[in-house]
A and B are shown apart, each in its own frame.
Chain A
Amino acid sequence: MSILSKITAKPWLQDQGVMDEYGPWDLPPAKLALGWLIAALTVMFCLFGLAYGIRMDTGDWRPLNEPGVLWLNTVVLVMCSLAFQAARSAARKEQAAQLLLALGLGGVLTIGFLLGQWFAWGELDKAGYYLTSNPANAFFYLLTALHGIHLIGGLLVWTRATFRVMRGTDIADVRLSVELCSTYWHFLLLIWLAIFALLLAT
């Protein structure tokens, strides 16, 4: 039944009260909740993007030279996403060894990405791009920090899922966690690509 039919139903009529066709969607609640969380985070990052654009026009904006390591970090984050996708696939096929390998790789690459971002901060600092010296710098540090914090939040869930796999938990019981992790990492990759494109374009 389409959403349009659902919201145009006349609940006071008996013949429209077909019970079993009106149930909730066949979707785990956690997936739906993650979808709403991603919507809220998308709004947040979009608003930062809008603020970035508006602040650019106030006259004192001096673009920074993005350090080359950001390209490498981007590649690492793409590999993270691929690793999580592989983990998702392994969980679906119930391949325990591949699942553990892919999950481990995804986590290690994420830590590598975060270290790479830290290195980029150091490079900018050495080059004199301090937080307070220009709004472009401030936005760079702010956006990368927020993106990193969200990855660290994801690592907490990843740690739990990985430990469960290592302890030999039935794969069917961790499949949902793995799927949620992979969706979240794909989302954060898209956010990073948007941030990076914004930085390069301005």
Chain B
Amino acid sequence: MAYVAIADRGQALHDPKTWIGKYVWSQDHKIIAIQYGGTAMVVGLVALVLSGLMRLQLGFPDTFSLIDPTAYYQFITMHGMIMVIYLLTALFLGGFGNYLIPLMLGARDMVFPFMNMLSYWVYLGSVIVLLASFFVPAGPTGAGWTLYPPQTILPGTPGHDWGIVLMLLSLALFIVAFTMGGLNYITTALQARTRGMTLMRMPLSVWGIVMATVLGLLAFPALLVSAIMMLFDKLLFTSFFMPALVSAGENLSYSGGSPVLFQHLFWFFGHPEVYIVALPAFGMVSDVLAVHARKNIFGYRMMVWAIVAIGALSFIVWAHHMYVSGMNPYFGFFFATTTLIIAIPTAIKVYNWVLTLWRGNIQLTVPMLFAIGFVFTFINGGLTGLFLGNVTIDLPLSDTYFVVAHFHMVMGVSPILVVFAAIYHWYPKMTGRMYDETLGQVHFWLTFLGTYAIYYPMHYLGFLGVPRRYFAMGNTEFMPDSAHLLNSGISIAALFVGVVQVIFIYNIIVSIWKGKPSGHNPWKAASLEWQTPDTPPHHGNWGPDLPEVHRWAYDYAVPGAKDDFVAQNVPYDGTPGTKVEA
């Protein structure tokens, strides 16, 4: 029987009839992707401003009266939570996942368009609830992004009344939104692929996004469980996490709860969350590197298996975030071992990226610069992870700036570099226009060098023992004047990098109107999203007929081919240049 894609099995496409139907209550995956991406970037800018305020305090203590300890802890908390959940998770999965999955797999849309639309609006609701906490009495919670009890809901912690409740409600809403989106991403990838799009012909971007979605569906419940139980402790005075306490001379009604239980639940979500962000980044950077090096990705199957292995292993390493909480030494040994094992598939990916570049026809376009910048940064961040994965090294370093430097390199800067690479790479497909190349290059070099000016010295501060989470260092014996000076330098670099992002925003907004027309496939890329009949793709993506896929997404520099790439939908017809020899 001839294969009929699910998208074409009598399913109506619901063409939008009105402007509001097309751009606001849209069920088109491309519009929803842009809604998700736009919202994530706006809320990410809020988090960026918060980090600038924190750096002002750390670099120039006792200078800015508006930043008191309460505000500082609120900035830390909101910065961390927004960046990890509401920016990176939402942008990679809601943004790029929505845009790329149907286009890369030859589908007309997600399989549940209405639920997809609902997912975005619930996500927007979660963002609004979160940001509303800036305007309630006592402001947002200042408990740190990990929200550890008991301090999170005790008097004395900023935002212990309204702020924490709004944070937990917002997280619950986000999880509902993610679940609706995630069911779409997985089901679309498994069931709506076009004819010939086998699992092993899927681009690595899709593999990364789908595996991250699987992780999210299995890990976010842990965050939901801990959020629900903490809400009960906060609002109904149960004692799931709250031990017996005396606060300000008063015996509180709590008794017997286990704060460490919360930590286990939180990190059972928290560590997979690292890979929920990293795996889509791994996938997308692989595609960008292959296209701009004009070479097939090295070790495609290994890359796929490494994504799956990293995803599976990410569920058995969580307690390495809790070495300082104290645990049975055998436990520590187990988690240190699993943590180091995860370095193996990760290293496979890094080697394969490097080998993809090896003797490639490297085009130093803006997306390629960001992609190479990612490889550098991820290696740096990964190497310090090897230090921190070991119990004995983690214990003295855990509460220092070394950890801040590590996780920002590996989980902040690295994925953000991929976000930029991906936006520049797919911008022509999304808008039909090219961005300004010069502004893009300036943006890359200032951002890349700027972030290294921030985070390299921070490792040194960590080695000195400078503690993280402190509002002000004061006069301490162990911190030489040079360290204080370094702190000021880091702050200047951070503010500089923050301001530089204006170039990016200006470039992507102005280029929508002023950019040169890009054509359908400016990068001469082989994957399916570049083969649409219209750019930007119209509703339904493919015109009357879905494409058929005849090869993988990485046929670059094929011997004997007319061009230096062969698109996925070009059949093997026996003519020279279309057949790839074993």
Contacts and interface: CB of A to CB of B under 8 A. Distances in A.
Interface of A: 6-15, 17, 19-20, 22-25, 27, 29-30, 32-33, 36-37, 39-41, 43-44, 47-48, 51, 54-55, 58-61, 131-132, 135, 138, 142, 146
A142 B190 contact: no
A132 B238 contact: yes
Contact of A29 (B6, B182, B253, B256): B6
Closest 10 CB pairs of A and B: A22-B198, A44-B221, A60-B256, A11-B552, A138-B238, A29-B111, A9-B200, A33-B183, A19-B196, A24-B191
Contacts of B201: 11, 17, 22
Contacts of A27: 191
Which of the listed residues A22, A40, A41 has the most CB atoms from chain B within 10 Å of its own CB? Answer: A40
Interface of B: 2-3, 6, 111-112, 179, 182-184, 186-188, 190-193, 195-201, 217-218, 220-222, 224-225, 228-229, 232, 236-240, 253, 255-258, 261, 264-265, 268, 296, 300-301, 304-305, 548-552, 554-555, 572, 579-580, 582
Contacts of A51: 225, 229, 240, 261, 265
B192 A40 contact: no
Contact of A58 (B184, B258, B555): B258
A29 B183 CA distance: 10
A41 B225 CA distance: 11
Given A14-B579, A32-B191, A55 B258 contact: yes
A61 B2 CA distance: 62
Contacts of A60: 239, 255-256
Given A10-B301, A23-B195, A138 B232 contact: yes
A137 to B, nearest CB: 9
Contacts of A135: 238-240, 256-257
Given A25-B191, A40-B218, A138-B238, A20 B3 contact: yes
Contacts of A17: 196, 198, 201, 550-551, 572
B238 A131 contact: yes
Given A43-B218, A59-B256, A37 B179 contact: yes
Contacts of B239: 60, 132, 135, 138
16 contacts: A7-B301, A7-B305, A11-B300, A14-B579, A17-B201, A19-B195, A22-B196, A22-B198, A33-B187, A41-B221, A43-B221, A47-B221, A48-B225, A55-B240, A132-B238, A142-B228
Given A54-B264, A60-B256, 7 more contacts: A6-B200, A7-B301, A7-B305, A13-B582, A19-B195, A37-B183, A47-B268
B256 A58 contact: yes
Nearest to B194: A23
Given A32-B191, A33-B112, A36-B187, A47 B225 contact: yes
A2 to B, nearest CB: 12
Nearest to B225: A47
Contacts of A24: 6, 190-193
Contact of A132 (B179, B236, B582): B236
A23 B217 contact: no
